[in-house]
Amino acid sequence: MSRGFGPPDGGGYTRLKFDDHERKANLSKALLLRIAKYFLPYWKQTLLVMAVLVVSAVLGLLPPLLIQQIIDQALPDKNLRLLVILVLASLGTTVVSGLLGVLQNYLNSFISQSIVYDMKNQMYRHLQRMPLQFYSGVRQGEVITRMTSDITGVQGVFSSTVVNFASNLFILVSTALTLFIMNWKLALLGVLVIPLFVMPTRKMGNVRWKLAKQTQEKFSEQNQVIQETLSISGYLLMKLFTKESTEYANFKQINSEATRLQIRESMAGRWFMMVLSTFTSIGPMLIYLYGGILFIQGELSVGAIIAFVALLGRLYGPVMQMTNLYVDIKRAAALFERIFDYFDMKPEIVDEPQAAAISAVGKDIAFHDVSFGYQPDKTALHGISFTASAGTLTALVGPSGAGKTTITNLIPRLYEVDSGAIRIGGRSIREFTLDSLRSQIGLVTQDTYLFNGTIRDNLMYADAGAGEAGMIAACKAAYIHDFIMSLPEGYDTVVGNRGIKLSGGEKQRISIARVLLKNPPVIIMDEATSSLDTASEYYIQQAMRSLLQGKTSIVIAHRLSTIMAADQILVIQAGAIVEEGTHDSLLEHNGVYRDLYDKQFEPKVLA
């Protein structure tokens, strides 16, 4: 089941696609260098981990060598003092290795969690810079998955993959050198089975990589269903259309597929590893056989054979783990590729090099032959030109999908124009920094969004430094203060998800109060009184008078009664301005506006 919502006014969008299943895992030098950059801030801790691993690898060699001395010297010579020293040395080595292991685990956790912390911050900041069109096209579940499970999944890259690789490499090198120093013939015999461990590894890595990609995609689908059906709006829609069973079946199917993929991923290569474990028993048997022959010939001691077999286990263990590490590295590469897919999306709307913080106070807003399309082959606006003079009210009217909201979204650069220019005070809005431009625009939408917090929290979102008196004054101007004070907890009342505990008119007036607290010179109102009852509409209109006073205002309205006193009215149809003038002049014109007016105000005759 797919659900999607396009941009307003009937515009389209280009859905972002990531053909993860079609690409092959690519452990390129560029990818590895890109991953390595995340470790650079923690190079000191990383070097300390490597030092600990080297010391631990060397200490791990001592117990087998001490056992050799116990068997070959202390016991045959019945030397109790030497026996005690050797046993205590072995015990001390074990204790020191354990302490180093604790230090290593702490450093591993610190580095891996710090990298995840940095990546989540980077991803959140990056997603903040993405244009509105990105969120119109991408699934919300996809965004959540990349922000959470994908990034969290890479924390094991250091704590497990990198550290284990380095640890196993140090153990492998130190053990191999020790074995060849002890007896090169036995050492050569012991390493003969190692190629059997390595050969099938690449194939297993590719299998795990593909399964990891598919698993993360299923997690994205799962998050999408949860996001859509268990949010307030989705939940109500599901209940009202009695789709609980359908949605449950859909979720159950996706959950089943995700579980199946996880099981396949966890089992991938297990049979292979079982066969490898069989090979590990071959080496010791060969050592006992050939070592026994050397013992009989007087070339080797019993203690040396036992120590050799013990060290051989230290040789095979890292080899087996490193073959499995290759599989883990491939899986980690899959996660990094998914994360880097997002990082590689360049924000289309950014500050121009010459942009500066510019004020819009007392300045006209002018559209000059502006055209725009959500898709390259589909134009939503055609040659829009008009001027909203400073301190005046400009109204946009027209049928749904005509392009009214699109026009207003271009002013704060939520979208970028394809051609033409928008100027404030004669200067292109591209000369404004995004922060300074948007800080001077107040937007009140039909679908008011409130956070699941208190009324106070939602109001102070506009200006955290606003005092109690300022907040109350804004609410009085928005005709919502008396209602708030009638609530048991007043301004500390929790509004619920998306303000569900409040009516549409109450949410709208809180939204207006929030913009009043911001006090911007430019106000945009998008269908602020649409779908409200008469009483709510009255209060909204009173609040609008306070909000729009002395501001440069652009108001979208379906109810023409709210904009009859506008300084100019633009009639938008099919992405173009087809009429403009005052209310009276447009009525006299007998065009589209007159038709809209007659449909709203002509007497309704009941059949």
Instruction: Using the predicted structure, report yes or no on whether residue 103 has a pLDDT greater than 90.
Output: yes
CA distance to 417, 485, 551, per residue, from 428 (Å): 12, 44, 20
User: What are 6-60's pLDDT values in tens digits?
Assistant: 333 433 333 343 334 334 446 678 888 888 888 899 999 999 999 999 999 999 8
Q: Residues 6 or more apart from 163 whose CB is under 8 A from it?
A: 49, 53, 104, 108
Q: Residues 6 or more apart from 82 whose CB is under 8 A from it?
A: 69, 73, 74
User: What are 196-239's pLDDT values in tens digits?
Assistant: 666 655 566 667 667 777 887 788 788 778 877 877 667 767 77
Question: What is the Cα–Cα distance from 74 to 68, expressed in whole angstroms?
Answer: 9
User: What are 461-474's pLDDT values in tens digits?
Assistant: 888 778 888 888 88
pLDDT at 342: 87
Cα dihedral 147, 150, 152, 154 sign: negative
- Among 1-15, 80-94, 348-362, 421-435, the least confident range: 1-15
**In angstroms, how far is CA 16 from the centroid of its own chain?**
15
User: What are 557-583's pLDDT values in tens digits?
Assistant: 887 877 888 899 999 999 999 999 999
Instruction: Using the predicted structure, report yes or no on whether residue 255 has a pLDDT greater than 80.
Output: yes
Instruction: Report yes or no on whether pTM surpasses 0.85.
Output: no
Quick check: helix, strand or coil at residue 175?
A: helix
Edge-to-edge strand ranges of the sheet holding 419-424: 381-388, 365-372, 419-424, 427-428
Task: Give the number of other CB atoms < 10 A from CB of residue 454.
Answer: 16
The answer to whether 455 touches 475, Cβ cutoff 8 Å, is no
pLDDT at 337: 84
The answer to whether 443 touches 405, Cβ cutoff 8 Å, is no
pLDDT at 16: 40
Instruction: Using the predicted structure, report yes or no on whether residue 439 has a pLDDT greater than 80.
Output: yes
User: What are 258-309's pLDDT values in tens digits?
Assistant: 888 888 877 766 666 666 666 667 777 778 888 888 888 887 888 888 888 8
The answer to whether 350 touches 430, Cβ cutoff 8 Å, is no
Q: Give percent of the chain with pLDDT exceeding 70.
A: 86
Question: What is the Cα–Cα distance from 597 to 395, expressed in whole angstroms?
Answer: 14
The answer to whether 50 touches 158, Cβ cutoff 8 Å, is no
- Among 39-43, 144-148, 307-311, 541-545, the least confident range: 541-545
The answer to whether 373 touches 409, Cβ cutoff 8 Å, is no
Question: What is the Cα–Cα distance from 37 to 443, expressed in whole angstroms?
Answer: 40
Instruction: Using the predicted structure, report yes or no on whether residue 423 has a pLDDT greater than 90.
Output: yes
Most confident of 319-328, 420-429, 441-450, 465-474: 420-429
Q: Which of 388, 316, 350 is nearest to 551 (CA)?
A: 388
Q: Give percent of the chain with pLDDT exceeding 90.
A: 22
pLDDT at 603: 57
User: What are 354-372's pLDDT values in tens digits?
Assistant: 899 988 888 999 999 999 9
The answer to whether 142 touches 224, Cβ cutoff 8 Å, is yes
43-69 vs 163-182: helix crossing angle, rounded to 10: 30
Most confident of 200-209, 316-325, 349-358: 349-358
Question: What is the Cα–Cα distance from 577 to 323, expressed in whole angstroms?
Answer: 67
Task: Give the number of other CB atoms < 10 A from CB of residue 482.
Answer: 9
